[in-house]
Amino acid sequence: MKLQKTLQRLQKLHPKEIDLSLNRIKKLCNKLGNPQDNLTCIQVAGTNGKYSTIQALRAILIQGDIKCNIYTSPHLQKINERFVYNDKEIKDDDLIKLLHEVEEINAGEEITFFEILTAAFFYGCKQYQKNLTICEFGLFARFDAVNILKKNLATIITTIGLDHLDWLPENERTIDRIIFEKTNSLINSTIIISKQTDNIIQDKIKKSLKYNKSKKVFFNDLYSYTLGENNFFYYEDEYGGLKLPLPNLNGEFQLSNIATAIATIRNAEKLNLSNENIKKGITKIQSIARLQEIKKGKLKNFCKNNRLFVDGAHNPLGALVLNKFINNIDSNVHVILGMMNNKNHKEYISHFKNISSLTTVDIKNQPNSIKGILLKEKLNHISNINYKSSIEDAIKSIALEKNDIILITGSLYLAGEVLNLN
């Protein structure tokens, strides 16, 4: 309760949720002694795959005894997830203390919620300066609060696609503008570029990075992977090939994220990890709410012997990935969908082919989400569409046959609700 009150107070420090500028966080970090200047970082930009790539990095680095501080957003179940120091999620009391101290130093100056959280994370890193710090860009890299770092070991660019268009001018809501925002102002360091949806986007990224002096490591140009048989996949780059065990994760997209993490480790200076570290790390990766199968708990009990998956995908790229997974399964798939108001709901669901039913739901405690009944009305061109107010009622309402699958998707906030309920 104390933590919640602190967060509510910080949210009132600026009238806007997002106000694209670096001036406010620079000013606050200067008051804090610029703790970010003493950190050695890996930054992660892109549209999809940032969280999963970070988790792959984290699992491998742990095997090499490299301690990490990690900053991600948004969180799924609790805000503490965003503040990882020395490989451990911060405790409530420590987070309250950290936020209070930073709030006092800020002295009532206007600053967005994300900016003050970012400044607080950097300030908390002071006692763990020797650790490797991994930071995820929150929205657009150019004016993202994370983009005030000076010592970058590497930058990762994950898959780029259309998302968060409502923050761009109406006449500039294009993939070109998004690529510019995410790549144009990156620090000179080694840049690792993930597998993209097509060569056109990859070429646009190359053009955007043309004058960046960093070594650029593009998928297919300098590293790649192939899916092998007998629970192995093969990774290859200029340093040689690796035969690697398949991770305990669903979806081939995870192999792309893992390959990007490996390319980062093998190309970034100072990360002297062995092939054995990489092999062991891959088997330890945990990716929450990314095609995560719910195998026990309250919601699973409603499904009985049927499989239940949750995924936080919320944009067209994510929908395409999920559809690929669905098409590779010889089962009927029932989708439970909840989304935020500012998403392109029709485009998102258009990427799902051959689903057996669609049930829209409300996302609890999210005023910026679209009501499930309104979402159903928007998607009424889809046959066998229903509305239920809660996830529990949605699951119980589905007429499941043997081997049918339920997939809950559309929002990270919905995914968080699933995990909290279960």
Q: DSSP for 270-336, please give it.
A: T----HHHHHHHHTT---TTSSEEE-SSHHHHHHTTSEEEE----SHHHHHHHHHHHHTSSS-EEEE
SS3 104: helix
SS3 243: strand
Q: What is the rounded CA–CA span in Å between residue 149 and residue 137?
A: 11
* Tokens, residue 51: 């969280």
Fold: same for 2-282 and 292-421:
no
What is the bridge-based pairing of β-strands 190-193 and 152-157? parallel
pLDDT of residue 231: 85
Q: What is the rounded CA–CA span in Å between residue 284 and residue 179?
A: 32
Q: Are the beta carbons of 245 and 232 closer than 8 angstroms?
A: yes
Split the chain (422 residues) into runs of 10 and give each run's mean pLDDT. 92 86 95 96 94 96 96 94 97 97 96 96 96 89 85 93 74 87 86 95 95 94 92 94 94 94 92 93 93 94 94 93 90 96 94 94 94 96 94 96 96 95 86
Residues 6+ apart with CB under 8 A from 8: none
User: Per CATH, which fold does 292-421 belong to?
Assistant: Protein-Tyrosine Phosphatase; Chain A (3.90.190)
Q: May I ask the CATH architecture of the domain 2-282?
A: 3-Layer(aba) Sandwich (3.40)
| Predicted model pTM | 0.93
Q: What pairs with residue 340 in β-bridges? A: 369
CA distances from 3 to 6, 79, 80, 112 (A): 5, 9, 10, 18
Q: What is the rounded CA–CA span in Å between residue 179 and residue 186?
A: 12
pLDDT of residue 302: 95
Domain positions in the chain: 2-282, 292-421
